[in-house]
Structure 1
Amino acid sequence: MNTLGIYGGSFDPVHNGHLAFARCLRDTFALPEVRLIPTGLPPHRAELRVSPQQRLDWVRLAIAGEPGLVADDREVQRDGYSYTFDTLTGLQAEQPDTLLVWLIGADSLANLPRWHRWRELLELGHLVVAARPGFEFDRLSGEIGREYAKRLVTATPESLARGKISRLPSPLTTISSTELRERLARGDDVSALTPIADELAASGLYRTTP
């Protein structure tokens, strides 16, 4: 079975936690490739301060030399909102014989019923959920709680199947883009949080203090 990993997000900016999740997705499911897809115009949050192209360039720089990790510009190039449904159906049309293995965060899973055509999304591939330390899956409720419970399978290459959900055996990381932006705004050293610390500092795009 052909497989392709998909990891979308704002990457505002990209940090070591993103890379740890992408590597874990690749290695856990023995995926030959994981596409990191920066969001263009996100439908569920305010327009981002940093341009889509800049965030894409930073992702490319951060994953340079990483086996199997590839930056994908399809959402950056898209006009209008970036819906995951459109991204996944587009990828599936390009590779009709490939199972899409797509990764989201646990917070996004909890809010999935707000997403465009969310029920159909669950049938477009194998959904993998990455949770930060302390997230309680047992607290998922309503429709998404029921869907999660009935679709859940173990996170192994052999369990991959369309319409199923797995939990990523995530690296224990508490790094967030919010924390990284706050530190950059203060002019702090962020070299322990991201492989592109020098580039982020030099850009001045997050700096708010002289």
Structure 2
Amino acid sequence: MSVGLFGGSFNPAHGGHLHVARAGLRELQLDEIWWLVSPQNPLKPEQPSWESRAETVLSLPLPARMKVSDVERQYETQYTVDLLRTLKTRQPDKRFVFMMGADNLAQLPKWKGWREIVETIPIAVIARPGSPIKARLSQAARQYDFARLPEDQAHALKDFTAPAWTYLTLPLDKRSSSAIRARTA
């Protein structure tokens, strides 16, 4: 089984996130997408409760092949690198692909164990408004350029051994959680 790990704060989750998750199912030809609602993103200020943010994901029209997963809470991991180590050990029968927005690729070197992340799991980077050039010129993109699959081969990413990544230039969705929070503040 191939599983896309789609992590984030989802504060709140919105149609733009769903757009990215659907693209994962379609372009990466994955069996499932697990929405990983971060218990607390270490790079962001205090977040609303996990339950309230998970509820914003569940309020979206999720296809049957998508689910909200609390594996980070179950395994008591705070950092992506720790979660990936644990998943690799506890669920060796699954082929995982980590999905992230291009803005996260640009800041990936700030993540704990970022090189280990890239060398542990194939990664699908999805274009976001305002970040394509910055992401493609980022330290992580340059350092691992040798491992980048062309976009037209994204469907095969799940079958590659890390390091392997691709950059998907889908139609952009301009919705953002920070803009939604600003409107409701």
TM range (shorter): 0.7 to 0.9
- Residue identity in the other structure for 1:53: E
- Residue identity in the other structure for 1:57: E
Check 1:12–1:97 CA distance in 2 against 1; reply closer, same or farther (3 A cut).
Answer: same
| 1:149 correspondence with 2:148 | no
Cα distance between partner residues in 1 of 2:105 and 2:49: 26
User: Is contact 2:81–2:117 with CA below 8 Å preserved after alignment?
Assistant: yes
Q: What do residues 16-66 of structure 1 show as CA deviations (whole Å, max 9, x unaligned)? A: 000000000111111110000101121111111x211111122123244x1
User: Is contact 2:2–2:96 with CA below 8 Å preserved after alignment?
Assistant: yes
**% identical equivalent positions:** 34
Cα distance between partner residues in 2 of 1:112 and 1:37: 17
| 1:61 correspondence with 2:59 | yes
Structure 2 residue aligned with 1:27: 26
User: Is contact 2:28–2:155 with CA below 8 Å preserved after alignment?
Assistant: yes
- Residue identity in the other structure for 2:156: E
Greater radius of gyration (CA): 1
| 1:96 correspondence with 2:96 | no
Q: What do residues 85-110 of structure 1 show as CA deviations (whole Å, max 9, x unaligned)? A: 12222222232132211111112111
Cα distance between partner residues in 2 of 1:96 and 1:77: 17
TM-superposed deviation, 1:15? 0.4
TM-superposed deviation, 1:141? 4.1
User: Is contact 2:36–2:69 with CA below 8 Å preserved after alignment?
Assistant: yes
Higher alpha-carbon deviation: 165-174 or 116-125: 165-174
Could you list the runs of 5+ residues in structure 1 that have no partner in the other structure? 186-210
| 1:87 correspondence with 2:86 | no
User: Is contact 2:106–2:135 with CA below 8 Å preserved after alignment?
Assistant: no
User: Is contact 2:136–2:142 with CA below 8 Å preserved after alignment?
Assistant: no
- Residue identity in the other structure for 1:104: M
TM-superposed deviation, 1:14? 0.5
Structure 1 residue aligned with 2:69, among 67, 72, 92?
72
Q: What do residues 87-135 of structure 1 show as CA deviations (whole Å, max 9, x unaligned)? A: 2222222321322111111121111111111111012211011121342
Question: What's the Cα RMSD here?
Answer: 2.0
| 1:125 correspondence with 2:121 | yes
Q: TM-score, normalised by structure 2?
A: 0.87
